[in-house]
Amino acid sequence: MLIKAGYTIAFQSFAPTPVVALLSVHPSRKADLVYPARIQVTPPLDRYDFLDEFGNTATRLVMQPGTTTLHSEFLIRDSGLVDARAPDVALIPLAELPDDVLPYLKPSRYCESDSLLGEAWSRFGGFTSAREMADAITAFAHSHISFGYHFARNNRTAADAWHEGVGVCRDYAHLAVALCRAMNLPARYCTGYLGDIGVPVSDAPMDFSAWFEVYIGGEWYTYDARHNAPRIGRVLMARGRDASDAAITTMFGAANLERFEVVTLEMDEQASAAA
């Protein structure tokens, strides 16, 4: 299947403002792009891409006073399959985990797993299957948090989400990630595109989405506490320990958001080929 995706985001800045943007398709999906996707900047500004410490494509630029618009639009091929289900295997002993997985067991800025150890072990300590534990944690986070865009807050942590019981997709992911790590189950935060493909179309404005991945049986598997169901057509942009590592933009200065539009649509392949 083909997916059309992209965004238009505009900021007003009042002084030269350095920006690091994680708005590109993740390198693991670049081979699926029908044509190269490039961030367009208006007015034109010097910028360059690099791979950050988590393997994400990051873009550096310096916004000048006034309005700066970032835009991208692309077609990407997708399998059309729902998220793969993890195998029903035991937890991997800590001593046998690969070195590069260990950072995803540690507390982080928004996933303070050390603060949730007691709650996690009291609820999930009886599981021996890694898949069953991940399923249970995902279902708990899904039912524990009430979703609403009016609940959005950029400094809410996993522990805050636990106590407040409200949030948006990133809060579901943070809570689930923190609980997994508290149970010695490696987990990492993800952000990207997730359109209404294979599900009823929502009347809410399109947005980027947050989910997470759990290391089970030697591979990473996708979980989504916001929806708690396998989905079709995820397009990964960035991964990290939490939203601080995978923020779509990190600004070193003050700027106001003026415009934010995201598009993710399934396309008719014959019509797309003809166009």
What would the CATH number be for the domain defined by 94-240?
A: 3.10.620.30
Per-residue pLDDT, averaged over 67-92, amounts to 97
Is the pLDDT confidence value at 136 over 90?
yes
What CATH number belongs to 2-80+248-274?
Answer: 2.60.40.2250
Sign of CA dihedral 142, 143, 145, 147: positive
Residue 269 has pLDDT above 80, yes or no: no
The whole-number pLDDT of residue 27 equals: 97
Domain range summary for the chain, segments of one domain joined by +: 2-80+248-274, 94-240
CA atoms within 13 A on the CB side of 212: 36
d(CA 186, CA 105): 5
Q: Please report the pLDDT score of residue 118 as a whole number.
A: 96
Do the beta carbons of residue 159 and residue 117 sit within 8 Å? Answer: no
pTM over 0.85: yes
Q: Are 55 and 29 in contact (CB under 8 A)?
A: no
Check if the beta carbon of residue 213 is closer than 8 Å to that of residue 222.
yes
pLDDT tens, residue by residue, 8-67: 999 999 999 999 999 999 999 999 999 988 899 999 999 999 999 999 999 999 999 999
Rounded-to-integer distance, Cα 154 and Cα 174, Å: 12
* Cβ neighbours of 213 (radius 10 Å): 24
